Structure 1
Amino acid sequence: MVASAQAPLATVSVQTEQLGARIPEDFVGFSLEVSTAGQGIGAFGGSTSESRARVAEYALGTPEAPNKGFFQFMRNLGPGILRLGGNSQDNTCWNATAAPHPDWCKGELRIGDFRLYSEAARASGWRLILGLNLKQNSSQWALDELTHAVAKEIKPDEILGLELGNEPDLFSRAGSRPGPYSPADHVKDFLAYAEAFRQNSIAKRYALVGPATCCKWRNAQDLGTFIDGVGASKLKLVTVHSYLLTTCGGKQVTIAELLAPELMTRFNKEAESLVASARARKVPIALAETNSASCGGMPGVSDAFAAALWGLDSLFSAAEDGFSGINFHFSYRPGGSSYNPVDTYKAVDARRKQQGYQNVAKPLYYAMYLFRQSASGKHLLSLTTNSAADLRSYATSECASCAVNVVLINKDVSASGRVSVHVSNRTRRAELLFLEAPKLDSLSSEVTYGGVQFDSEGHIPTPHLEQIEPDPNGNYQFNLPNAAAALLVVPSPKQR
């Protein structure tokens, strides 16, 4: 791309002298329902988009026909964490007839489901956060699932930790706990499980994670109450959820709202206090469930290219804020979901004459892939950005003398133009790649990563890279379109 002579849309200056925090190698992950049953939320009542013409199948497939294409989509993101939880975690039951409240069981887990979880872990190289039902509030009943299903089908080293309950701050609203149900009450329920597991020779080998709070308890004080009450030494990981927008109750969300700078400012402010609370107690904290808007997202927004820009900014922001990882959620609500990173549909494998799958990489997945390529396992670098537009920029490197990756995200609803990037102590020819679409509301079929796209099996051709020479002042200049993010890779000064 030839840069124009106009004043730049943005100038970015990257400092390479001092490395910042290292982003974990397994920072990027998915949050998946344990089952398509027991979602507990109704169909979206608003507008529709072409992506909602078909209802997505469970991403992992079935125990009889695992979705190997989806496992490839997982592998593309490197080592990761697959969280199995969501509303179905507490609305679906193992051995439902023995549950204290069988009428709360909206679906049933079978032994094959756990075999499928294990296959996903083995095929992808990911570890699992496996959710157990806390709503039933019976540690002995949960132990039966753990000893007769989990332990028999999933190897211990495939499990990062067991997550007890999903969004317990909503338990009283759902009628599963008498109101008021406080964080202290939740600690008692959590500890009852923890103590029962500690006394069991099989269960005690698994680490615990929590509290998986989403709403009124998602604050530093209540998080501290949980960690202190349970005991930091009993927790492998602290988990919280975040949805700053919602389509619950038929509410609408626009692209402008999703990309608004104020939304990310609010995200960072909340994250700062939560991370500080966990760090003060020396426990890592993960954003274990998040997406663009709760209740399945907004058609034409959550499944559009705007979600890729939001997602990429969220990934880098979460890393800067100090989270140990981030898991984008999949929903299987009636009528379909708009925010799944990958949608899966039934297809017939004619060659093998058996059930197959068609997987569709959504715009959000492309953002996760770009983050993996540019940031996972690398150190953050400090930089300054000057722009009147809503443009976000980040830089990473593996070491002080290594290549530098600079990511620019154009979240502005209308601006485009020339950008100028200066990287200290780097003046060699760089490579430039674009994640782009014609418009912010473009859907998957129009999204490209370096000019190419993922196929149904999770494979992608070699992307196109532009060669960029620095100007006499050592600045890399190029045009950044409106609906686009750019990855500029500036080689090490020692590289030949």
Structure 2
Amino acid sequence: MQTPPPTSEARRRLMQWMGALATTELLGACGGGGGGGGNPAPSPAPPPAVAPGTPVVSATGSLGGATGATLSSRFAGLSYEKTRLAIPLFSASNTAFIRLLQRLGPGVLRIGANGVDLSSWNGLVPGLTPITPAQIDAFAACMQAAGWQVIYGINMANNTPANAAAEASHVASRLGSALLAWEIGNEPDLYHSNGDRPSTWSYADYLSEWRALRSAVAAAVPGVPFSGPAAAYDTARFTVPFARDAGAGVPLLTQHYYRANGQDTSSTLDLLLSADAALPGRLQSLVAAARTAGMADGLRLAECNSFYNGGAPNVSNAFGTALWVLDFLFTCAVNGCTGVNLHGGGNGSGYTPIADSNGTVVAARPEYHGMLMFSLAAAGMARAGVLNLASDFNASLWGVQRSDGGINLLVLNKDRNRALQATVSTGLGASAPASFDPLWLTGTSMDAPTGQMLGGSTVAPDGSWQAQAMAAVPTRDGSVSVLLPPATAVLLRSL
């Protein structure tokens, strides 16, 4: 059977993967320098070396029969506090930020979080951060330049239907087709405990208030979908009932996720890298609720990251989060999620994929490099894999059945001290491709906040990045074998 030609998305991903044209392409899209090449192709680089004396553990693996969501660059998006509209991050002139968004591909950015209920359109509520038309104009220009869609949050805790409608009218007029959905409020299941509502406030009260704001916004801007309820944790009393009660025009069910409290001393990198046994079942129940309710866009974790309260200091910014985010994204995908939004912003020692200082990008963090690796793999149907290993060895295997007919394999070695010799069956037998193209994710140590490299290069703060060419990994008897040093990952793309 002849392999079908790559789709436009797969072709763009291939160019970015190889690095030959990706930097020029992105710089040109942002008005940067350009120029074609003509230089000879560099000699293939060797794979990461395993230090002498490092113990090596061997394992076999294969992709299971279970498949999940169909992946694209829209799957792994970003989330920001709405109050950050008041700083010069979201601007068409912020080319570094736009290039970093473009690296991840056309994506979905959610603007809201706690900041949505701490801000007020045109300063209606004293003491809250004013959101102005000029800020929205700049935000819309930034999103349109990047080619990203937006889930836009509207204040629920301190707002009026008339003010919500006025804000929605201006936002929709500027974002246009980039506006994916409205989100009203943030984590309403915490309103009764954080002072926004009395202790007696219930889901029924929430639903009544939500419907009033929704009606006002829908009347002002007909036809734009809604999402919700953006609950922090209470799936049983908020998210599942909301799926049942939201009604037409709400195709997207949203929920938040964090592994644990970043202020607890037990919130370590080792905890983060250990599997959250409760997550698959929780996702499956929410996916089922969305399906039963006929919500066409399914379930999206519209805000998530490592640990809540901004992350665990000097843990949530470490290289290990690049490995964690790969596992997390694939776990969500194979359990039916249709997308996630990694929360971030600022330059503290907690979490953020893109670090910025008052809007100026200062670093693409390790987590961003993991997201980029996922984005480069995300061009088809997600598949779970199984590695046959001793229980004390932390490693994982994922796959993507690509839309262009090929297959991607992702192997992660999360052991700090031991190397992994992984032999993975492609499941294709004699029809397996002759070789796979490797892309490596490495760091100086699991705990290091800097020094991460994808394809032998670090993504620069200005968004530039070019992967090194590496020798193809041959298949043998339908399997591919790779040696992973401690704390590394490799993405193998069939040629």
TM-score, length basis structure 2: 0.82
1:221 shift after superposition:
5.2
Secondary structure of 1:31's match?
Answer: strand
Which residue of 242, 245, 264 corresponds with 2:257? 242
For 1:428 and 1:113, the matched residues in 2 are separated by: 53
Equivalent in the alignment of 1:222? 238
In structure 2, do the counterparts of structure 1 residues 402 and 238 end up closer, same or farther at CA, with 3 Å as the change threshold? same
- 1:391 paired to 2:395: yes
From 445, 448, 451, the counterpart of 1:442: 448
Is 1:476 the equivalent of 2:480? Answer: yes
Q: Which amino acid aligns with 1:454?
A: V
Residue of 153, 160, 163 corresponding to 2:174? 153
1:309 aligns with 2:330: no
CA contact (8 A) 1:184 1:225 kept: no
Matching of residue 368 in structure 1 with residue 374 in structure 2: no
Q: Distance in 2 between matches of 1:163 and 1:361?
A: 28
2 CA distance for matches of 1:94 and 1:420? Answer: 56
Matches of 2:363 and 2:144, distance apart in 1:
22
Equivalent runs, 1:156-195 vs 2, <5 Å: 157-195=177-215
Aligned residue in 1 for 2:39: none
CA contact (8 A) 1:161 1:236 kept: no
Per the TM alignment, residue 37 of structure 1 is displaced from its structure 2 partner at its CA by: 8.6
Supply the AA of the counterpart residue of 2:179: I
Give 1:380's aligned residue.
Answer: 382
Q: Name the counterpart of 1:75.
A: 102
**Residue 285 of structure 1 aligns with which residue?**
299
CA contact (8 A) 2:239 2:254 kept: no
Alpha-carbon distance change, 206 to 189 in structure 1, aligned in 2, over 3 angstroms: same
For residue 429 of structure 1, report the CA deviation from its aligned partner: 2.1
1:397 is displaced (CA, Å) by 2.0
Q: Quick one: distance in 2 between partners of 1:143 and 1:90?
A: 16
Aligned partners of 1:282 and 1:228: how far apart in 2? 9
Closer/same/farther in 2, CA of residues 305 and 206 from structure 1, 3 Å limit = same
Where structure 1 has 5 or more consecutive residues not aligned to the other structure, the ranges are 39-57, 347-355, 492-496
In the TM superposition, what is the alpha-carbon distance from 1:253 to its structure 2 partner?
Answer: 2.2
| Aligned partner letter, 2:79 | S
1:328 Cα deviation (Å)?
Answer: 0.3
Q: Deviations over 1:62-95 (max 9, x none)?
A: 65x7422111111111121110011110011113
Structure 2 vs 1, CA of residues 177 and 488 (structure 1 numbering), >3 Å: closer, same or farther?
A: same
Work out whether residues 168 and 212 of structure 1, in 8 Å CA contact, stay in contact via their aligned partners in 2: yes
Deviation track 1:359-383 (CA, whole Å, cap 9, x = no partner) reads: 31100000110011112x3112454
Q: Distance in 2 between matches of 1:381 and 1:361?
A: 28
Tell me: CA distance 1:404–1:62, structure 2 relative to 1, closer, same or farther (3 Å). closer
1:175 Cα offset (Å): 1.8
For residues 439 and 422 of structure 2, what CA distance do their matches in structure 1 show? Answer: 14
| AA of the residue aligned to 2:394 | D
2:43 alignment counterpart? none
Shift in Å, 1:25: 4.2
RMSD over aligned Cα atoms = 2.6
| Secondary structure at 2:306 match in 1 | coil
Task: Show the counterpart of 1:134.
Answer: 156
Q: Which residue does 1:451 correspond to in 2?
A: 456
Distance 2:267 2:336 in 1: 28
Q: Mind listing any 5+ residue stretches in structure 2 that lack a counterpart?
A: 1-46
Find out whether 1:27 has 2:33 as its counterpart.
Answer: no
Question: How much does 1:252 deviate?
Answer: 5.5
8 Å CA contact 2:262–2:313 kept in 1: the answer is: no
Query: Secondary structure, in 3 states, of the residue corresponding to 1:312?
Result: helix
Do 1:184 and 1:229's aligned partners in 2 also have CA atoms closer than 8 Å?
A: no
Note closer, same or farther for the CA distance 1:61–1:422 as it changes in structure 2 (3 Å cut): same
Which of residues 107, 113, 118 is equivalent to 1:86?
Answer: 113
Cα 1:439–1:267 change in 2 (3 A) is same
1:61 and 2:89 aligned: yes
Residue 452 of structure 1 and its aligned partner are, at CA, apart by 0.8
Q: Are the equivalent residues in 1 in contact too, given 2:413–2:486 (CA < 8 A)?
A: yes
Secondary structure class of the residue paired with 1:323? coil
Counterpart of 1:292, as a letter, is S
Pair 1:382–1:321, CA change in 2 (3 A) = closer
Give, in whole Å, the separation in 1 of the partners of 2:154 and 2:56: 56
> In the TM superposition, what is the alpha-carbon distance from 1:19 to its structure 2 partner?
6.8
Normalised to the residue count of structure 1, the TM-score between the two structures is: 0.82
Aligned residues: 439
